[in-house]
Amino acid sequence: MLNKLIILSKNDFRSRYAGNSLGALWAFVYPLVTVMLYWFVFYVVLKTGPRGGVPYVLWLVSALVPYLFVTDALSSAASSLVDYSYLLRKSGLDVRLLPAARILACLPVHGIFLALMLVLGIPLGIRCVGLLYYIAAELAFAAALGSLLSIVTVFFRDIRGILAVFVQIGFWITPIFWDLSGFSHPLAVIALDPVSYITEGFRGVMSGTASAGGVWGGVCFWSVTLFTAVLAKILFSRVKSGIVDYL
């Protein structure tokens, strides 16, 4: 199963850039241009001062990077079963592999973003453990919610349009241009928007400060993630045998 998952993710990554002259090189160009654009606007043009003891560009990018990954992974996973319906009809492939493959296909670009973020930042030392923890957290959340959305999309195709709207809304309500430290009820924000736990965690690691959510923020985040994963598993088990008929 792992071998099939890796093959599917590689093929999906290649298909994203198929037909382009530069091919997969676009995967490197996009993160580089994005980070350089933010650096130019906020550091050169606006001359924004440091936040949380780190340069503003790093403070901003450290929260933007995980948000871009999670939203890209969710958008890709949500349409995975519909986009690859022909594979399910012909090969009898395990439907659970497709959302996971789509999420893994987003990792190369995310890895480049992370590398650029580390280049902008400072030596992490022991904080690398914290960074690995939040990478695991974003993967777990994307896998749980992505699987759930992929099933719902089969029966309700408008989910993709609705998700696009929420991605735009989330860009402003998720702590990217602001942080949770000055918010009186951070747990409420994390419960309603679990991605905020991840963005705050990445920012805390890069700035050397504690995440605003604290231990209870982690409990809240993992509770939501676990509940979503269990719900997705229950739905998969109930519709697995007949899901091809709806595609």
Q: Are 224 and 204 in contact (CB under 8 A)?
A: no
Q: For residue 150, give Cα distances in angstroms to 15, 74, 134, 229.
A: 19, 9, 23, 12
Residue 178 lies in a domain: yes
Q: Are 100 and 143 in contact (CB under 8 A)?
A: yes
Which residues are 191's β-sheet partners? none
- Nearest-CA neighbor of 71 among 221, 219, 172, 2? 172
Which residues are 51's β-sheet partners? 54
Report whether pLDDT(55) > 60: yes
pLDDT tens figures, 78-109 = 998 888 877 776 666 677 888 999 999 989 88
More confident residue, 50 or 140: 140
Tokens 């871009």 sit on residue: 68
Look up the domain containing 97 and give its range: 54-241
Structure confidence at residue 228 (pLDDT): 96
Structure confidence at residue 223 (pLDDT): 95
Q: Are 122 and 54 in contact (CB under 8 A)?
A: yes
Residue 122 lies in a domain: yes
Residue 196 lies in a domain: yes
Report whether pLDDT(69) > 90: yes
Residue 4 lies in a domain: no
Structure tokens given for 34 = 């994005």
Is 52 buried (19+), middle (13-18) or exposed (0-12) by CB count in 10 A? middle
State the Cα angle at 57 between 123 and 62, rounded to 5°. 60
Cα distance between residue 191 and residue 152, in whole Å: 21
For the chain, what is the mean pLDDT? 82
Residue 42 lies in a domain: no
pLDDT tens figures, 136-188 = 999 999 999 999 999 999 888 888 889 989 988 988 889 888 888 777 778 88
Structure tokens given for 35 = 């980070």
Residue 36 lies in a domain: no
Counting the structural domains of the chain, the total is 1
Cα distance between residue 233 and residue 216, in whole Å: 26
Sign of the Cα pseudo-torsion (172, 175, 179, 184, in order):
positive
Sign of the Cα pseudo-torsion (90, 95, 101, 106, in order):
positive
Residue 133 lies in a domain: yes
Residue 144 lies in a domain: yes
Average pLDDT of 12-27?
A: 65
Q: Model-level pTM?
A: 0.88
Cα distance between residue 113 and residue 144, in whole Å: 23
